[in-house]
Structure 1
Amino acid sequence: MSNNNASSNLVVAQRAVKQLRIEAGVRRIKVSQAAAELRNFCLQNASKDPLLMGVPSSDNPFRPPKSCSLF
């Protein structure tokens, strides 16, 4: 039982080491640079943002359904 537990702990430790190696290899940038890039992206795409510009009623899938009546 302890041998099985030891091998299980070894597998968990190996997975942790593998994940840490992956995270150590991630390219990092300064927060100020990331914030500036995010701000520029938002400003460049503001005209396409439906939350800022609104959605035309013809394209809005959530508009209330129109009632239909036959005369």
Structure 2
Amino acid sequence: LADDDLPLHGVFIRAPRVRELGPEVEVLGEREGEPVLLRDGRLLLAAFHPELTDDLRVHALFLEMVEEAQRKEVGVGA
């Protein structure tokens, strides 16, 4: 995430827990040693609600992923 030196505050409401990770899963964020933000290719998983804070880094990452997928679809650089 951009500015990943800064803590990312999340709102957890009945948050799911990740029990296993596949070999391609990238852990982007943890809370108390547990993964809470993950990416697997074109999929993004957050165990919290990024829309309930003013921090837009998760939203920005999602938009970057959409743009990346669109570039790959039309064959324009990756």
Shared fold by TM > 0.5?
no
> Which structure's CA Rg is the greater one?
1
Structure (1/2) with the larger strand percentage = 2
TM-score, L = length of structure 1:
0.26
Identify the structure with bigger relative contact order (alpha carbons < 8 Å, sequence gap 6+): 2
